Structure 1
């Protein structure tokens, strides 16, 4: 399935943390897939608080959907890189076509797994005989060593296994004594389980894995190991950290149906945007450019052999163009500038006089200059991905460490909206000493310049930063003294 958001968020996906025995409840957000009458999906992965469960990086849960009212699923050809798509249905049928020449039907209780590798395109449409559509679409991030593999499609109908008060189908990995033959590139598990009313089931799991339990119907109490149980309602995704060898599932009085996913934490930092997963912003941007080139070539004639993506045969509609890349970019931790041995805490810099602040004014904060050497023990630990985000409704660029707001630089539009006057930069003192102010301002000013807008510096920190970066001079309108 394509991420059909018109402005998809670009994010760094990195393994999170958790305590064995605890359950974190991830609430879904509604995402429309086709206008006012289109079907909605409930997206529980990725979230700011948790972007991965094992290598599982995306989960859309949808239905039961009245196809007569919404038109069902109709997703034209679109690209993927760096991931595997997992389609699992409870009701209805979806027709799948891809550029590797596969044409298949996705039916309830049958796994369809598409491996994108370095590039594939596919389409998904509910069939004319489908009246109710209900299921889940999941993505698995490929590790770096597997992101360049060939495109592939696998189909598997797992047997129904049963025990006291439950039935299950294991479509990936091993669970309840059954092992799926479908190949994955990191250790994973995926299964559907149905529990009778009031049934309790202790499942032995790999303690090296973290797990997620998505409730499709009914209520379920999830208790990892000897931890206390947490009640999950329909559409909730419960997360259990690695370190437990048992999950206890207890159904409510109506019974429950769930999807259980899990895997070893993926110790890689990934950038995910739209339908692409790569190792850097540049890799994702190049994948987008390659898809747009595929569309341009296809509009003029046949695609050449060896095109990165290709297009499925027999498509009734043109393929989906890629959205515009976001105005700000993510900075994986590995790309952050080195930290100095001793850095003054950057608190608040602001200009309270209006409208002008002369560029000669002495800044109250300065951008630290990285030394030639630094002792590792003096580098503050950064435990979460660093994200710079343009928040136009707030008229600011914000910098986050994981889900925590670390600071921002505020601006106001200039006359005729030809530029941005930067008036205030602030880093929370808890995040001081990491060079985040310089990272934030450099990204905000680069994004402003790249958007063709003028930079008007009033904030003393921005003034000081610009004086050290003369390459921005052509984009700066210095305020009159």
Structure 2
């Protein structure tokens, strides 16, 4: 499955922190695929608070969807690097084609794992006989040593095992006495578990692994090492840190179906943008350029034999172009240095939405830099949330370049963005757009409502309708 967002946020994925015995509840955000009438997915990974569970770095949960209403899944050919895609269905069928020559049907209870390595492209479409589409799409990040491996495709139908009050299918790794033969490049586990009403299941797990429990249906209580339990509702993803040797899962009165994922924490820093995972911004940018080169070559005739991605055969639609790259190279939040004490006193000028006025100050995001006005500064652009000051600030190295300020709404359910400023010395570099994009994405991913009063924020949101589900527009 492609990430179909037209303005994907570049994320730096790093291992999170957690205390053994605690359960962190990650709630999903809705992401529409294919427009207003298209199918909707519930995305629980990545999030600002947690980008990885083991090497699992992406989780979309969808359905049950009436295909007659949503149109089902129809994702044309698109690229991947640095990851493996894991397709797992509860109902329906999806047709898979990829540039390694594989043509397969993804069916319920069967693992389909595609390894991108240094580059692959594939398409996914629900079949004409599918009436209800329901499943999950997950990505596994490849470690640096495996990101250059050859593309491949694996199919595995795990046996259904059972015990008191449960059935299980283990599609990756080992769990409940069963082991999947499918190769992984870091220690992983993945399984579907179905529990009868009120059933209690104690699962022995590797204490070196962190785990996630996604609730597909019903309700469960998750308790690492049989400690105090945390209730998980449908579409919740419960996270349990490494250090626990057992997970107790107790089903509610209606029973439950869950996906359990886990693995050793991946001690590598990864950059994820659109459908690419690499070790740096530059690596991802090069992958995007290579995909655009593939599209250009395909328009001129047969692809050369050494093309990085290739294209699936017999595609009914043209492949998806890549979105534009971010305007700045973003740094990991985990590596942000302490805020300089003097930075809060910097002089600023208001950032305003661009207009056609001939007398206006140059806008915060023109098409090119104003070379004579930009001082000698570092190349490190980063956005920092400063909740004590109720603002998001953007820095170039140690220099404060600007901020967007907000106030909390009643009951702290929303952030009302009231003012955005960029220092005039940093104008003409698109920093206002970068700042607002990061601030609003962080707000949305935290499950907090966006209330736009600032004219620049209003203008930005009108150009990015994918944020509409997170916005409460002020009354006129």
* Structure 1 and Structure 2 fold alike (TM over 0.5): yes
**Using a 3 Å threshold, how does the CA distance of structure 1 residues 407 and 314 change in structure 2: closer, same or farther?**
same
Deviation, structure 1 residue 108: 0.1
Work out whether 1:266 is the aligned partner of 2:259. no
Map 1:60-75; keep pairs closer than 5 Å.
60-75=60-75
Q: Are the structure 2 counterparts of residues 389 and 308 from structure 1 closer, same or farther at C-alpha, using a change threshold of 3 Å? A: farther
2:344 maps to what in 1?
A: 348
CA contact (8 A) 1:410 1:423 kept: no
| Contact in 2 for aligned 1:28/1:44 (Cα 8 Å) | yes
Counterpart for residue 194 of structure 1 = 194
Aligned to 1:103: 103
Report deviation, 1:447.
4.4
Q: Secondary structure at the match of 1:170?
A: strand
Q: 1:52 to 1:326 in 2, by over 3 A?
A: same
How big is each residue's C-alpha offset from its partner over 1:323-342, in whole Å with a ceiling of 9 and x where there is no partner?
Answer: 11122322248998xx89xx
Q: What CA distance in whole angstroms lies between the structure 2 residues aligned with 1:352 and 1:114? A: 49
Instruction: Kindly indicate whether residue 402 of structure 2 is the aligned counterpart of residue 388 of structure 1.
Output: no
Report the Cα distance in structure 2 between the residues aligned to 1:140 and 1:258, rounded to whole angstroms: 18
* SS class of match (1:104): strand
Q: CA deviation at 1:398?
A: 3.4
Superposed displacement of residue 410, structure 1:
3.5
Q: Matched residues in 2 for 1:334 and 1:49: separation?
A: 11
Residue of structure 2 in register with 1:29 after alignment: 29
Question: Which of 376, 394, 408 matches 1:398?
Answer: 394
Residue number in structure 2 paired with 1:428: none
Taking the aligned partners of 1:344 and 1:180, their CA distance within structure 2 comes to 51
| Structure 1 residue 350: Cα displacement | 3.9
Could you list the per-position Cα deviations for residues 109-154 of structure 1 after superposition, in whole angstroms to 9, with x for gaps in the alignment? 0000000000000000000000000000000000000000000000
Question: For each residue in 1:236-259, what CA deviation from the matched residue of structure 2 results, as whole angstroms up to 9, or x when unmatched?
Answer: 000000000000000000000000
- Per the normalisation by structure 1, the TM-score is 0.75
Please say if residues 222 and 229 of structure 1, whose CA atoms lie closer than 8 Å, have aligned partners that are also in contact: yes
In terms of Rg, which structure is larger? 1
Kindly state the Cα deviation for residue 349 of structure 1 after the two structures are TM-superposed: 1.5
| Other-structure match for 2:315 | 315
- Normalising by structure 2, what TM-score? 0.76
Q: CA RMSD in A?
A: 3.3
Unaligned runs of 5+ in 2: 351-359, 362-375, 406-419, 435-476
1:42-80: CA deviation from partner (whole Å, max 9, x where unpaired): 000000000000000000000000000011000000000
* Cα distance in 2 between the residues matched to 1:334 and 1:448: 21
How far residue 162 of structure 1 moved from its aligned partner, in angstroms, is 0.1
- Tell me how far apart the structure 2 counterparts of residues 40 and 352 of structure 1 sit (CA, whole Å): 41
- Distance in structure 1 (CA, Å) of the matches to 2:162 and 2:39: 33
Q: Which residue of 2 aligns with 1:427?
A: none
Aligned CA distance change for structure 1 residues 411 and 249 (closer, same or farther; 3 Å): closer
Distance in 2 between the 1:168 and 1:411 partners? 49
Q: Match of 2:119?
A: 119
Structure 2: how far apart are the matches of 1:6 and 1:238?
29
**What is aligned with 1:409?**
402
Alpha-carbon deviation of 1:348?
1.3
1:289-368 correspondence runs (5 A): 289-332=289-332, 345-351=341-347
Question: Matched residue pairs, number?
Answer: 391
Instruction: Summarize deviations over 1:156-188 as a string: whole Å, max 9, x none.
Output: 000000000000000000000000000000000
Counterpart of 1:373 in structure 2 is: none
Kindly state the Cα deviation for residue 99 of structure 1 after the two structures are TM-superposed.
Answer: 0.1
Structure 2 counterpart of 1:215:
215
| Residue pair 1:158, 1:171 contacting (<8 A) in 2 also | yes
SS at match of 1:69: helix
Counterpart-to-counterpart distance in 2, 1:189 and 1:12:
23
CA distance in 1, matches of 2:432, 2:25: 41
- CA 1:368 to 1:132, structure 2 compared with 1: closer, same or farther past 3 Å? closer
* Separation in 1, partners of 2:172, 2:151: 19
CA contact (8 A) 2:402 2:421 kept: no
CA distance in 2, matches of 1:201, 1:152: 35
User: Kindly tell me: are residues 192 and 449 of structure 1, through their superposed partners in 2, closer, same or farther at Cα, counting changes over 3 Å?
Assistant: closer
Indicate conservation of the 8 Å contact 1:84/1:142, yes or no: yes
Task: Kindly indicate whether the alpha-carbon contact (under 8 Å) linking 1:194 and 1:257 is maintained by their aligned counterparts in 2.
Answer: yes
* Partners of 1:328 and 1:388 within 8 A in 2: no
Aligned counterparts of 1:308 and 1:223: Cα–Cα separation in 2 = 45
Q: Is the 8 A contact 2:349 2:423 kept in 1?
A: no
Deviations 1:305-346 (A, max 9, x none): 02100000000000000011122322248998xx89xx9633
TM-aligned CA distance change 1:267 to 1:395, over 3 Å: closer
